Structure 1
Amino acid sequence: MGVIGSGHIGEAVAKLLIDAGNTVIMSNHHGSESLKGLINALGPKAKAGTPAEAGQQDIVILAVLRPGVADALAKTPNWTGKIIIDATNELPDSRTDPAYPGSELVAHLAPGAHVIKAFNTLFARYITGETAAGKRVLFYGGDDADSKKTAAALFEKMGFAPVDLGTLKEASPMMEFGAPLSGTHFIQTQE
């Protein structure tokens, strides 16, 4: 697994990926030296790398600030067949291209990738936070059915109750910052 972005969201998702048995390549735009403390905290299944190295993995978590999306994705020359789990949020002042709202920008900038929108409705502290009972609901959306199945299975392994909101065009408007599901922290108590 690759994680591009080592802020609160990237760190929280990486921790759960590792807890689920995965090895994770962490990266950021400051360079691998800046990741030493985080890598030590995450343990032996975490490795420091560049965004290009993280982008070479089959599944990549994109957890950068919105203005850094284009630069982060440009570090990997070939996204064909890879799953990008887009955890970015389009804040009101960070829309970089009105023609491509939400995760549609990620899909446009990473041709050939299968983009799944997820994790952006949860505050970082709740991503790894314990629940009193049940599983935390994780909303997601995407355009490729097989990639959505792969992502949903991964989300379940990470301890979530995944809820499919449809395509990127359908899901993104419900999940972006300030949208109806933004900042919601639902718990599924029954299967």
Structure 2
Amino acid sequence: MSKEVKPESVSLSPLGMAAAPEQEPLCIFGTGDLGRSLGQRLLQSGYRVVYGSRRPHSCGPLPQGAQVMSHAAAAQSTSLVILCIHREHYDFLETLAPQLKGKVLVDVSNNLKKNLYPEANAEYLHRLLPGAHVVKAFNTLSAWGLQNGPSDANRQVYLCGNSAEAKQAVAKMATKLGFTVLDRGSLAAARELEDFPLQLFPEWRLPLRVAIGLTTFFFFYVIMRDVIYAYVEQGKDISFRIMVSLANKVSPIVSLIMLSLCYLPGVIAAFLQLYRGTKYRRFPDWLDRWMLCRKQLGLLALGFASLHVLYTLIIPIRYYVRFGIAKFTISQIKENRTSEFDTDVAWRSDSYLAMGIVGFGLYILLGITSLPSVSNALSWREFSFIQSKLGYLTLFFCTFHTYLYGWNRFLHPSTYKWYTPPGYMLCLVVPSVVIVLKLLLLLPCVDRSLTRIRQGWERTDPEDDSNKSLLT
């Protein structure tokens, strides 16, 4: 007859869980949303789960198959304890120091804001329980992400700790849950991991600032040229056009500039490599930051292009447009005359619309392929072809679309209200520069040199050809 072993008498090493996860349960302190979600994922992955609670008999619904007991009993039943509780509730853990000695404590806590405490939560926990092995992990995942399993947006688990064996135990558990583990080093990195979830769109800050700055500038610019000019010079109040007409002018302007800003840093980098004669020197920090946010710039540009399409589609149902058409028709009837059909205007109008449709279609293709679920299914050559080759083609069509819109208006003095050019002329500067510079890079002599440099060739001494070598 086998002898029953009480939880209080169990003594396991920190790696007991890693050695036999099917025999030893994992312990979770905390029965909130994160604790329940993490327990559910552990149960689905084949682990046994024990919850530690102050009120074992009234702690609310828990995942089916999990056990619940007091903190002391739960801590004794396992060698790994996951703390899904807030820092302000850590004090009670001091009374459990004997039960938690030698155990692996996984701290998943976060704070409401940065620098709330003088030290990281995990470091405070380590000072509170020096006999335990503290590992910071899982704090960058949400309860929703744990419930739905690893996805493209939250498949990584960052961890840090002073014990290599403790980190190995946590890493094995995270890997079995389907996550990718990234070791950030010792517990000194806990502050960085705890600050990570508090960041609000860190990669979008620069693109958003650019978008807001361009939108603000061109919005007030077109108001000055259209609304204020009409009121001052002609005594007309056309302020109602701000809501649709002016917004439909600003959105394509910002979209085209931001699209060109996606490809301008690549062109600058190419010329910089040609000038230096090597690819092994780092780019300036400002260029690195610019190149890292190209995806966000492109997605924001697509958003403004979509607004332009929606504004354009509602133009026929606007009161201002319907009133203008009716007024023109009545004047034609009263004067007993009919305007003749102009084939040149029809060709220009249809060409302008066709270029816009093709450009927007390619725009959408670029946006779709930037999604992780789509880009992961593409090879590097396919992804590069779409984002680079088709990207420049998109820029060309959208720029050509704007040129057709302006046509020969730049020759008319009335176009320059208060001696200022219209907004669409200003927005053509950056994309035109990008296209011209890209065409220069496509010249055979330039392209050949750039290709050699990117394959490893270095120009060490321009006067001595013997020093030129191809690195392998």
Q: Is 1:33 matched up with 2:57?
A: yes
Q: Is 1:162 matched up with 2:181?
A: yes
Asked if 2 retains the 8 angstrom alpha-carbon contact of 1:114 and 1:144, the reply is: yes
Once the 2 structures are TM-superposed, how far is the Cα of residue 94 of structure 1 from its aligned partner? 9.7
Which residue is equivalent to 2:404? none
Which residue is equivalent to 2:161? 142
Query: What is the 5 A alignment of 1:25-174?
Result: 25-29=50-54, 31-35=55-59, 37-38=61-62, 42-44=63-65, 46-56=66-76, 57-71=78-92, 73-78=93-98, 79-92=100-113, 98=118, 100-131=119-150, 136-170=155-189, 172-174=190-192
Identical counterparts, % of pairs? 28
Once the 2 structures are TM-superposed, how far is the Cα of residue 166 of structure 1 from its aligned partner? 1.0
Once the 2 structures are TM-superposed, how far is the Cα of residue 101 of structure 1 from its aligned partner? 2.5
> Structure 1 pair 67/109, CA: closer, same or farther in 2 (3 Å)?
same
Asked if 1 retains the 8 angstrom alpha-carbon contact of 2:140 and 2:196, the reply is: no
Counterpart pick for 1:175 among 172, 177, 193? 193
Q: Is 1:11 matched up with 2:36?
A: yes
Q: Is 1:21 matched up with 2:75?
A: no
Counterparts of 2:176 and 2:41 in 1: how far apart (Å)?
A: 9
> Structure 1 pair 182/134, CA: closer, same or farther in 2 (3 Å)?
closer
Render the CA deviation track for 1:29-51: whole Å, top value 9, x for unaligned.
3x01123521xxx222x101111
Counterparts of 1:127 and 1:134 in 2: how far apart (Å)?
A: 12
SS of the counterpart of 1:163?
A: strand
Counterparts of 2:197 and 2:152 in 1: how far apart (Å)?
A: 21
> Structure 1 pair 157/131, CA: closer, same or farther in 2 (3 Å)?
closer
Cα RMSD of the aligned pairs, angstroms, is: 2.7
TM-score, scaled to structure 1: 0.81
Instruction: Looking at secondary structure, tell me which structure has more helix per residue.
Output: 2
Give the number of aligned pairs. 177
Counterparts of 2:171 and 2:79 in 1: how far apart (Å)?
A: 15
> Structure 1 pair 15/50, CA: closer, same or farther in 2 (3 Å)?
same
Instruction: Looking at secondary structure, tell me which structure has more strand per residue.
Output: 1
Counterparts of 1:36 and 1:124 in 2: how far apart (Å)?
A: 17
> Structure 1 pair 13/139, CA: closer, same or farther in 2 (3 Å)?
same
Counterparts of 2:37 and 2:182 in 1: how far apart (Å)?
A: 19
Q: Which runs of 4+ in 1 moved over 3 A?
A: 90-95, 130-135, 180-184, 187-190
